Amino acid sequence: MRHNFGAGPCILPQEVFKQASSAVLDFKDGLSILEISHRSPEFEEVIAETVKLVKELLNVPQGYSVLLLQGGASLQFAMVPMNLLPQGQTAAYLETGVWANKAIKEVKNFGSANVVASAKEANFTFIPKDYEIPADSAYFHFTSNNTIYGTEMFTLPVTKVPVVCDMSSDIMSREIEVSNYDLIYAGAQKNIGPAGLTLVIVKDEILGKTGRSIPSMLDYKVHIDGGSMYNTPPVFSIYVAMLNLRWLKSKGGVAEIEKENKAKAHALYTEIDRNTLFKGTCAVEDRSRMNVCFVMENPELEKPFAKFADDNGFEGLNGHRSVGGFRASIYNALPITSVHALIDLMQTFEEKYK
């Protein structure tokens, strides 16, 4: 039995893998999902159900469009300022890690980024809290969960400017109030489905105000008008995302998975704090419920623990190459039994080495 704690692409429910593989062989009347036209009525149903599930699961209000795009969250780093930032104006950014940095880097192509607060000095181990967002900012951008450092932002700052959020690694993991945001984006490969798909939820009224000419493929309005089918969409990724969102709905939706996610994170952090060999790396109040980062009190034990984990069927526990240590990604699809197995592993290791 393998336990997959990988950070992304990552575990999806076993039943989703089974349903997806059977659709590769026979989706409809002996045709594979990989060979059908994206304009076929069958696929139009898939895309419509996927959008409907996103709206249902996140309670998306009227006035927002749900888009299924490509290019990953990384393309959104550029599409956001291209579509929302008038030339020469400034957008406010919160610098909480590598992904926020990459988003900030793209802004200069269109205007300027004002970094309102940064956790860089502390190697991104906390979420900055007291900062001002200037009222003339075109928008405020932040990353809700810092996949690499294991911090998560549970409260939104109060601001009147439009709010844009990179929610790639915690979307669908806890309830959010979509009306507090003007644009949400997420690469699919953590909690939504396979790589190759990017979800965007955008408030329609914020678009079309930059005065800039935007290439069609990079223009949210073009994708809204085209129903996310301006060009050939990633058919298989969308299909698997639909299966995964159906699975989430059948489990009771986001509110239910949030309870499970809290239980998983609580169990693991409790063990990290109790176990004499391990310690967490982030400020306790900012600890992520999706990516649990930890190191060893004695760094010399890191290699032996990594080997012990590997020998026992644990996958993907290495920290990001820029941080080191360990990272257990405990996304929606990771069963609590895998968390308990990891806790057992840490306790067994403690018995051997303390």
Ligand X SMILES: *Cc1c(COP(=O)(O)O)cnc(C)c1O
Selected binder of ligand X within 83, 147, 318, 338 (CB under 6 A): 147
Residue from 13, 157, 187, 234 that binds ligand X (CB under 6 A)? 187
**Which residues make beta-bridge pairs with 302?**
none
**In whole angstroms, how close is the CB of 194 to ligand X at the nearest point?**
11
Cα 58–chain centre separation: 14
In whole angstroms, give the CA distance from residue 176 to residue 147. 18
Residues 71-100 interacting with ligand X (rule: CB under 6 A): 72-74, 99
- Report the length, in residues, of the chain: 354
Stretch that binds ligand X, among 46-54, 162-170, 235-243, 259-267 (CB under 6 A): 162-170
Which residue in the list 166, 170, 182, 286 is annotated as catalytic? 166
**The binder of ligand X chosen from 95, 106, 166, 271 (CB under 6 A):** 166
CB neighbours of 277 closer than 8 A, spacing ≥ 6? 296, 297, 298, 301, 305, 346, 349, 350, 353, 354
Q: By CB under 6 A, what part of segment 257-296 binds ligand X?
A: none
Does position 143 bind ligand X by CB under 6 A? yes
Tokens 């139009």: give the residue: 44
Identify which range of 22-30, 43-51, 166-174, 207-215 contacts ligand X by CB under 6 A: 166-174
Is 247 considered catalytic here?
Answer: no
For residues 20 and 26, is the Cβ–Cβ distance under 8 A? no
Q: Which one, 52 or 120, has the nearer CB to ligand X?
A: 120
Q: Is the peptide bond before 9 cis (omega within 30 degrees of 0)?
A: yes
Which residue in the list 29, 102, 182, 190 is annotated as catalytic?
Answer: 190
Closer to ligand X at the Cβ: 168 or 237? 168
Q: Which of 170, 130, 176, 135 is nearest to 151 (CA)?
A: 170
The helix (H) or strand (E) run that includes residue 244 is helix 235-250
Coil, strand, or helix at residue 273? Answer: helix
Q: Do residues 282 and 325 make contact, with C-beta atoms less than 8 angstroms apart?
A: no
Q: Is 338 in the site for ligand X (CB under 6 A)?
A: no
Q: Which of 83, 96, 125, 168 binds ligand X (CB under 6 A)?
A: 168
Taking the C-alpha atoms of residue 197 and residue 334, their distance in angstroms, rounded to an integer, is 20
Which region, judged by CB under 6 A, interacts with ligand X, from 67-75, 112-120, 128-136, 244-252? 67-75
193 binds ligand X (CB under 6 A): no
Q: Does 191 sit near ligand X (CB under 6 A)?
A: no
Distance CA(83)–CA(168), nearest Å, equals 19
Q: Which amino acid is at 205?
A: E
With CB under 6 A as the contact rule, the residue among 4, 137, 169, 237 that binds ligand X is 169
> What stretch of H or E contains 68?
strand 64-69
Q: Work out whether 323 is an interface residue with ligand X (CB under 6 A).
A: no
- Nearest distance, CB of residue 320 and ligand X, angstroms: 10
Report helix angle 98-107 to 72-84, nearest 10: 40
Q: Specify the DSSP class assigned to residue 348.
A: H
Interaction between residue 196 and ligand X (CB under 6 A): no
Residue placing its CB nearer to ligand X in the complex, 157 or 187: 187
- 330 vs 346, beta carbon nearer ligand X: 330
Stretch that binds ligand X, among 35-43, 163-171, 211-219, 274-282 (CB under 6 A): 163-171
φ, ψ at 347 (rounded to 5°): -70, -40
Q: Which positions lie near ligand X, rule CB under 6 A? A: 8, 72-74, 99, 143, 147, 166, 168-169, 187
Residues involved in catalysis: 99, 166, 190
